[in-house]
Copies of this chain bind each other. A is one copy, B any other.
Amino acid sequence: MAKVDPWNVEGNVNYDDLIKDFGVKKISPELKKKLESISKSKGVELHHLIRRDVFFVHRDLDKLLKDFEKGQKFFLYTGRSPSGKIHLGHMFIWYFTKWLQDLFDVELYFQFPDEEKFLFKKNLSYEEVQKNLEDNMKDVAAIGFNPEKTFFIINTRHADILYPEAVKVAKKITFSNVKSAFGLTDSSNIGSIFYTSMQAVPAFLPSVGKEKKLNCLIPHAVDQDPHFRITRDVIEKVGYPKPASIQCKFLPGLRGFEEDSKMSSSKESSSIYMSDTPNEIKKKINKYAFSGGRETLEEHRKYGGNPDIDVCYNWLLFFEEDDKVLEKVYKDYKTGKLLSGELKNILIEKLTKIVIKHQEDRKKLKDLKKYLRKEKFFKKG
């Protein structure tokens, strides 16, 4: 049985089990249609990550869309806990978030909880997290979120805004609540016990002091659900609507589902970082990518490969937007027409383009000021 919580994803994740355990809802065909019709009305296609069930479950997304049609506004909230370099397994969620922001033309609150990993990882120093923070913020800024409508929240630096709200949430959460949700014990440090309150705040921060409360939609990977489950349990008691969420599966690591069900910053051989060179990308994929191909060329040509367990195919599922290209790869690989090396090359080309464009966009950034304007947008506590 796989273990999935906000700090650990171990084993081959069975998403059907997770749906039951966490109590999240599958995105139904009706909801998908709804999202498609909204997209089409804005002249864009439904996002491939929804089409392909990478974003596969949700909480109250149907309700949020109904409210939206009635004129009830919402904002987006997502985040990044800075603990290492940014890799593709982070990026796809934010690319998707940008798509949502553009589609609905809404505000995005992007949290950098720079105390979280410090509190949860024994040997991680505060200074190291701060260094990662500066680096990670640049990667997020390079994505090109609407600068008029995007606000970075840094937990330690903006604690004068977050902490007064966090204590209101914290008063409604007992140790028992977090114990069961996060597997904390009496030996857990008291910062880690308090932490979830800080993660809850952006889910209602834009509504603080406002008479009309806004809805909130959180795009996130399914392992973060325990946080927002707790947030949803208490948020109405502090006067705000429950945040909705749209949740995705993990991008598997290079070594494949069995060994590497979620790409991890700390495993070099698992990840393609946004700072990798074209040569590194090529070498890592060629060396580590778990293949669904046959042992020999002859067998592969004869029996075909298995794209479903092949990491290259599965990554294309995340990053190749064109369904026709993807389908052709699937078919050709399965029938043995496409060889593993050829499939790797298709992926290498695709990812190299994405990473190089990202690096160029990152270089063009002057500073992060446009995203760090707390005085202008947050009411002081």
Q: Which residues of B contact A349 (CB under 8 A)?
A: none
Please name 14 pairs of A and B residues whose Cβ atoms are closer than 8 Å in the assembled complex, sorted by A: A115-B167, A118-B171, A119-B167, A156-B163, A157-B380, A158-B160, A160-B160, A170-B194, A171-B189, A172-B189, A174-B189, A175-B189, A190-B194, A193-B193
> In the bound complex, how far is the Cα of B118 from the Cα of A170, in angstroms?
11
> In the bound complex, how far is the Cα of B157 from the Cα of A164, in angstroms?
8
Q: Which residues of B contact A196 (CB under 8 A)?
A: 190
Q: Which residues of B contact A251 (CB under 8 A)?
A: none
A191 within 8 A of B: yes
Known contacts A115-B164, A170-B189; 17 further A-B pairs (Cβ under 8 A):
A119-B170, A155-B163, A156-B160, A158-B160, A159-B163, A166-B191, A170-B192, A171-B191, A172-B189, A174-B186, A174-B187, A175-B184, A175-B187, A175-B190, A191-B194, A191-B197, A193-B193
Q: Which 8 A-B pairs have the closest CB atoms?
A: A170-B191, A194-B194, A159-B163, A156-B164, A159-B159, A160-B160, A115-B167, A176-B186
A49 within 8 A of B: no
Q: Which residues of B contact A194 (CB under 8 A)?
A: 170, 190-191, 193-194
Q: Which residues of B contact A193 (CB under 8 A)?
A: 175, 190, 193-194
A6 within 8 A of B: no
A188 within 8 A of B: yes
> In the bound complex, how far is the Cα of B167 from the Cα of A285, in angstroms?
39
**Chain A 182-210, CB within 8 Å of chain B: the 1/0 string?**
00111111111110110000000000000
In contact, A190 and B178 (Cβ under 8 angstroms): yes
A381 within 8 A of B: yes
Within A147-181, the residues touching B (CB, 8 Å) are 155-160, 162-164, 166-168, 170-179
Question: Closest CB of chain B to A16's CB: distance in Å?
Answer: 32
> In the bound complex, how far is the Cα of B204 from the Cα of A336, in angstroms?
68
| Centre residue among A176, A188, A189, A192 by max chain B CB count within 10 A | A189
Q: Which residues of B contact A173 (CB under 8 A)?
A: 189-191
A22 within 8 A of B: no
| Centre residue among A164, A167, A176 by max chain B CB count within 10 A | A167
Question: Closest CB of chain B to A289's CB: distance in Å?
Answer: 38
A126 within 8 A of B: yes
In contact, A118 and B167 (Cβ under 8 angstroms): yes
Question: Closest CB of chain B to A130's CB: distance in Å?
Answer: 9
> In the bound complex, how far is the Cα of B380 from the Cα of A186, in angstroms?
32
Contact A186 B190, CB 8 Å, known A157-B160, A158-B160: no
Within A114-129, the residues touching B (CB, 8 Å) are 115, 118-119, 126
Contact A126 B168, CB 8 Å, known A159-B159, A175-B175, A193-B193: yes
Q: Which residues of B contact A189 (CB under 8 A)?
A: 170-175
Q: Chain B residue with minimal CB distance to A164?
A: B156
The one of B119, B126, B155, B175 that contacts A186, using a Cβ cutoff of 8 Å: B175
Q: Chain B residue with minimal CB distance to A380?
A: B157
Q: Chain B residue with minimal CB distance to A122?
A: B171
Q: Chain B residue with minimal CB distance to A169?
A: B191
> In the bound complex, how far is the Cα of B172 from the Cα of A381, in angstroms?
28
Q: Which residues of B contact A126 (CB under 8 A)?
A: 164, 167-168
